[in-house]
């Protein structure tokens, strides 16, 4: 274990069951190492889907710069559920209700009403094949040629593709999303050559013009109870393929997210954030000690 003056505080949180570690790296020049992330993910207490490492932003108009890591130590460009957790944590410190974050995927704005109602503006979706990105050109990414299973009777086929700060493929199914072995298909599809930067893989069942059910294999993290950017991708792709309107309740294994694809093309996501416990950790090794159980 490093000396205490080298440790940083963290909050174990979740957004609809999406396991998040919010780590306070403000005022520090170093970053959380991939090795630390892998070690933290392997510990049952600190296992996570994403780490949200909160750094001081160079621009004073930006609330924070957030470095996002997946549980395999790789970087992520966006995490909507994790952003809500950061907002919940910062709100307890600052009392502010509005935030602007800089992430790898761009600028994200968020507003806090309560821990049960945090709104994140996820920005504009991108649909051009080279923006997603895809390895080959598709004139229309509402459907792309990709399937799993026999050619004449595929199990999953022709997904919609989009970039919501990170790449997503949405497979539309007409039955229960739990009827599919996403734990088996997910890794194959995530790493399919058509996705040069890998992709988040989701199964979506549209249940009404304003609702759908979603399961996601998250790139670099695996099966998760919730993926905010995937919920946004599913909602906009459902609207784009005329399966739903532009305001959709997306039910993920952890609960419901309200997604609205606004006329200005930005995507608003609303949902909760929940605190679990806090502690101190070494950003180089991932060694940690538990702190207070109170936020």
* Active site residue ranges: 79, 227
DSSP 17-38: TEEEEEEE-TT-S----HHHHH
* Contact (CB, 8 A) for 257 and 231: yes
* Contact (CB, 8 A) for 141 and 161: yes
DSSP 193-224: TT-TT--EEEEEEEEETTEEEEEEEETTTEEE
* Helix 80-94, helix 228-240: angle, nearest 10: 130
CA 20 to chain centre: 10
> How far is 126 from 161, CA to CA, in rounded Å?
9
* Contact (CB, 8 A) for 135 and 169: no
Radius of gyration of the chain measured on its C-alpha atoms = 19
Output the six-digit token pair for 264. Answer: 């200005």
Query: CB 153: neighbour CB atoms within 10 A?
Result: 8
* Residue whose pair of structure tokens reads 């049952």 in the numeric block: 44
């Amino acid at each position: 274990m490093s000396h205490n003056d080298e440790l940083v505080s963290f909050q174990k949180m979740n957004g609809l069951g999406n396991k998040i570690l919010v780590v306070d790296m403000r005022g520090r020049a170093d970053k959380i190492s991939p090795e630390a992330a892998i070690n933290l993910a392997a510990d049952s207490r600190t296992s996570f889907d994403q780490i949200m490492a909160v750094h001081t932003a160079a621009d004073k108009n930006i609330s924070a710069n957030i470095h996002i890591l997946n549980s395999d130590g790789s970087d992520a460009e966006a995490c909507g559920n994790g952003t809500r957790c950061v907002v919940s944590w910062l709100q307890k410190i600052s009392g502010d209700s509005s935030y602007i974050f800089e992430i790898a995927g761009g600028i994200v704005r968020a507003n806090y009403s309560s821990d049960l109602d945090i709104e994140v503006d996820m920005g504009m979706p991108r649909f051009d094949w080279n923006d997603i990105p895809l390895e080959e050109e598709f004139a229309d990414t509402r459907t792309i040629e990709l399937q799993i299973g026999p050619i004449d009777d595929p199990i999953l086929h022709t997904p919609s593709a989009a970039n919501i700060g990170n790449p997503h493929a949405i497979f539309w199914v007409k039955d229960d999303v739990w009827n599919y072995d996403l734990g088996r298909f997910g890794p194959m599809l995530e790493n399919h050559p058509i996705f040069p930067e890998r992709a988040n893989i989701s199964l979506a069942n549209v249940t009404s013009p304003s609702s759908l059910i979603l399961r996601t294999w998250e790139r670099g993290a695996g099966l998760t109870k919730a993926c905010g950017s995937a919920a946004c991708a599913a909602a906009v792709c459902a609207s784009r393929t005329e399966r739903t309107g532009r305001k959709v309740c997306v039910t993920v294994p952890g609960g419901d997210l309200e997604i609205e694809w606004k006329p200005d093309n930005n995507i608003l996501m609303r949902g909760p954030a929940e605190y679990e416990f806090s502690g101190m950790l070494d950003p180089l090794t991932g060694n940690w000690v538990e702190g207070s159980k109170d936020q």
